[in-house]
Amino acid sequence: MKIYNGGPIVLGIAIFLAIALFPFYNNIGKVNATPKPKVDTPAILEYEKLNGKKECVESKEWMRGEHMQLLNQWRDSVVRDYNRGYVSNSNHKRFDMSLQNGCMKCHSNKKKFCDECHNYLSVKPYCWDCHIQPKEEETKS
Amino acid sequence: MSMDRRDFLKAAGISSILGFGASVASAANLITGKQLLPPQVDRNKEVLTAKRWAMVVDMSRFRTDEDFTKTIEACHSIHNVPSFPNKKDEIKWVWKTGFERAFPGHENKYMSEHLKDMPFLLLCNHCDNPPCVRVCPTQATYKLPDGITMQDMHRCIGCRFCMAGCPYGARSFNYRDPRPFIKNENKEYPTRTKGVVEKCTFCTERLSVGKMPACVEAAPPGGLLFGDLEDPNSDVRKIVTEKYTIRRKSELGTGPAIYYLIGGGEHA
Amino acid sequence: MLEKALEGGKKYWAWVFFLGIFALSGVYWYLRQFEYGLGLTGLNRDVSWGLYIGQFTFLVGVAASAVMLVIPYYLHDYKKFGKIVILGEFLAIAAVTMCILFIFVDMGQPMRIMNVMLHPTLNSVMFWDSLVLSGYLFINALVGWVTLGSDKKGVPPPKWIKPWIYLSIPWAISIHTVTAFLYAGVPGRHFWLTAVMAARFLASAFAGGPALLIILSLIVRKVSRFDPGKEAIQAVSRIVAYAMFANVFLLGLEFFTAFYSGIPGHTHPFKYLYVGLDGHHELNGIMWLSSIFAVISLVMLWIPGVRKKEGSLVLACIMLFISLWIDKGFGLIIGGFVPNPFEEVNPYWPTYPETMITAGVWAIGFLVLTFLYKIAIGVREQTAGVEIEH
């Protein structure tokens, strides 16, 4: 079987494979630790002391998948409808719908909490372009 | 089964358009999502409400330079408004300017320079019929039911049509990243990022927790009055009904809600 | 047919390479602007739209001008335009591409552009503009490709393309009317608040676009074996002459209303542009150049002896194009923003990065035009002598 222009074709395929498979062979041997977000900021531990358990706006499993959807809904509700309070589906407590003054009051350790999973998944949310990150505090690890 | 090249390309084209369309539709659903409804969401009990928020400005109460800077600083500091070294990037939500600039066309050639430069405080007029809201392609600027012309910095695409539409020069654009130019960050309010338009919002974040707008609190007593025009007992309604006030460029039909009191007055 | 764009001599590839350099430099400078923000341009708090939006406005007009070939050929059976309608449609595609690119580079948050579709706002003229421009791009691509493909095969185009062709006529008028509405409905800017804005836009479009088409046709004749036809070019030149008269006349009407009424809101922008205001004369030179070129080119187009000689015709077209490019692509925008709502003058002038990005977008547009024209020329050369039936 005669391959016309075989040289350039094989070269082209080789270059394509080199580029397309780069993410894979570049990461051989690199450590991929499963993310371990830390929920032991002073604020959270304080809450635990007062209430006996750690509690977020919704359950951990639900938040893991849906926190971005929730934040989008909060955003529209606060900015466009003047609302401030959100009643949780899981524990029926009322929370202030705010990223900076709500979520980040407890989760003040962005590097050890938010960034743990985001970096692992290479997610770069641009919330922090505007919303001010809390100052990192010392946590008990 | 064999298919000729044209039919294959047609089929591939149509299926990729459908696939792309479907993914955009589902992404759109993910982004816009379901709205949160009461009673799951509610307002704070101490929220300040009105049918039509408006402001009366009594310039006779602003006597010293400090009166002005305190008022302007109050707004700009709690809202993380940056201060840039060069004028072209300037961002301001509330500012001071002279009479002939605030009300161009009302001056006359015999007026003394002193009168022409008489200072006035300017800000977004939160018009009844705002051209900026009319032209915004994404409803990033919109009217709240209480009369405030609000800005959603999340949705703004930075097209600046609203800036072209505003007859009052009330809007500013972030031509570059503002964060290095914010003197003292207020950690309880976000900054903005480059590429979005911003302006006075009548402090909705303070109204929703029962506080008056920052400029109103910081102004000299009686300098800025803030209230509900539809409430017959409010200060602003009483002044607007009984005293002579002017609004900027009112002949344009925009219905501004900032009333400048002429002659000063006695009120609480 | 796409392969025809890849067959060319040394001069063709040299031209493509030349455009490619400017396109790449435009991309580089845009990445810099994306990183820094629009502060890299000369825009300020008062003049918030500048060169990018001006170029967009001008190019919408060029895009609409395809209709000046479509109407005579498809509605009135003017057979002489049969061979060159495709040049008009392909010019429209290149122009609309540039329009979309100029909007994109002007946006503060381009990553959020889908918000315009996700949150449709029926009262916003900009929403409608994005719809009609995309639609126009689609229609021209469809009509151009299908008709050219049929010409290549030597058969009349399929019947279903006719409704699309007829649709392109009111659609072309609408794209420029909607773009004019961006300006003409805004209450605070008296330089723009005129009922004749859409009429001016259409007149300048139907003068500037076909003028460019004449220039391009003469180039096509020079670099290929495809001759658009002397009579076709002369017919287009008559269209340009009438449209330019309407354009200059309407501009004169604007001057009259402004200066006879004497209202400062109307006179001050004209004064800033032509004689200076508050000691600022930045734009006077180019605005006078634009007006002088407009009058000279109009006179040249109206003298039959001058118009019928292709040498002087092309000179008139070049002056006309430059005149309109300055007037619509720059002067119109700045005049709306200066003086500002406080009657102050804060002048604007494009910066180097802004100019390089603009040049980059023009280069990309011309690349699209070059490739499409190469294809059209390839088909015409192949089917030379065959009667075109549409």
| Chain A contact set for B142 (CB, 8 A) | 80
The shortest CB-CB distance from B33 to any of A72, A81, A87 is to A72
Q: What per-residue confidence (pLDDT) applies to B265? A: 57
Given a contact cutoff of 8 angstroms between Cβ atoms, the answer to whether C51 and C41 are in contact is yes
Q: Is residue B10 part of a domain?
A: no
The H-assigned helical ranges of A1-130 are 6-20, 22-26, 42-51, 60-81, 104-106, 114-121
CATH of the domain at C323: 1.20.1630.10
Q: Is residue C35 part of a domain?
A: no
pLDDT, tens only, B173-191:
999 999 999 999 999 999 9
Quote the domain boundaries for residue C300. 45-382
Q: Is residue C332 part of a domain?
A: yes
Cα C114 from Cα A37, distance rounded (Å): 33
Q: What per-residue confidence (pLDDT) applies to B29? A: 61
Q: What per-residue confidence (pLDDT) applies to B22? A: 81
Confidence of residue B33 (pLDDT cuts 50, 70, 90): low
Confidence of residue C3 (pLDDT cuts 50, 70, 90): confident
CB distance C121–B169 less than 8 Å? no
One-letter amino acid of B127: C
Q: What per-residue confidence (pLDDT) applies to B207? A: 94
- Strand ranges in chain C using DSSP code E only, listed in sequence order: none
Nearest alpha-carbon partner for B176 in B191, B193, B159: B193
Q: Is residue B194 part of a domain?
A: yes
CB distance B187–A134 less than 8 Å? yes
| Percentage of chain A lying above the pLDDT 70 cut | 96
For the residues C313-342, what does the mean pLDDT come to? 95
| Chain B contact set for C36 (CB, 8 A) | 176-177, 194
pLDDT, tens only, C32-43:
999 999 999 999
Q: Is residue B137 part of a domain?
A: yes
| Chain B contact set for C48 (CB, 8 A) | 160, 163-164, 173
Q: What is the dihedral angle through the alpha carbons of A69, A71, A73, A76, rounded to the nearest 10 degrees?
A: -140
Q: What per-residue confidence (pLDDT) applies to A34? A: 80
Cα C234 from Cα C316, distance rounded (Å): 13
- Domains contained in chain B, number: 1
Confidence of residue A139 (pLDDT cuts 50, 70, 90): very low
pLDDT, tens only, B88-134:
999 999 999 999 999 998 888 888 888 888 899 999 999 999 999 99
Mutation to test the B interface, candidates C100, C109, C181, C334, most B Cβ within 10 Å = C109
pLDDT, tens only, A44-74:
888 888 888 888 888 888 998 889 999 999 9
pLDDT, tens only, A87-97:
988 888 888 99
Q: Is residue C128 part of a domain?
A: yes
Given a contact cutoff of 8 angstroms between Cβ atoms, the answer to whether C371 and C85 are in contact is no
**Global pTM?**
0.91
Q: Is residue C140 part of a domain?
A: yes
The values of phi and psi at residue C233, to 5°, are -65, -40
Cis peptide preceding C339, ω within 30 of 0: yes
Nearest alpha-carbon partner for B31 in A71, A114, C107: A71
pLDDT surpassing 70 at residue B197: yes
| Chain B contact set for C39 (CB, 8 A) | 88-89, 175-176, 194
- Domains contained in chain C, number: 1
Instruction: Name subunits touching B (3+ CB pairs < 8 A).
Output: A, C
Q: Is residue C342 part of a domain?
A: yes
> B56 touching C, CB under 8 A?
no
Cα B76 from Cα C145, distance rounded (Å): 56
Residues 301-360 of C with CB under 8 A from B: 336-337, 340-344, 346
The values of phi and psi at residue B99, to 5°, are -55, -45
Tokens representing residue C336 in the block:
């709306």
The shortest CB-CB distance from B44 to any of A75, A76, A85 is to A85
CB distance B168–C341 less than 8 Å? yes
Interface B–C counts its CB contacts (< 8 A) at: 156
For the residues C230-239, what does the mean pLDDT come to? 94
pLDDT surpassing 80 at residue B78: yes
> A130 touching B, CB under 8 A?
yes
More confident residue, B135 or A1: B135
Cα B38 from Cα A67, distance rounded (Å): 20
Residue B131, CA distances (Å) to A15, A81, B93, B196, B259 in order:
55, 21, 18, 18, 19
| Percentage of chain B lying above the pLDDT 90 cut | 76
pLDDT, tens only, C70-125:
999 999 999 999 889 999 999 999 999 999 999 999 999 999 999 999 999 999 99
Q: What per-residue confidence (pLDDT) applies to C179? A: 95
pLDDT surpassing 50 at residue C319: yes
For the residues C177-199, what does the mean pLDDT come to? 94
Cα B136 from Cα A59, distance rounded (Å): 38
Residues 16-55 of A with CB under 8 A from B: none
Q: What per-residue confidence (pLDDT) applies to B128? A: 95
CATH of the domain at B163: 3.30.70.20
Nearest alpha-carbon partner for B215 in B229, B227, B200, B237: B200
| Chain C contact set for B91 (CB, 8 A) | 45
pLDDT surpassing 70 at residue B1: no
Q: What per-residue confidence (pLDDT) applies to A141? A: 41
Residues 55-114 of A with CB under 8 A from B: 69, 72-87, 89, 94, 97, 100-101
> B116 touching C, CB under 8 A?
no
DSSP state, residue C127: H
Asked if the ipTM is above 0.90, the reply is yes
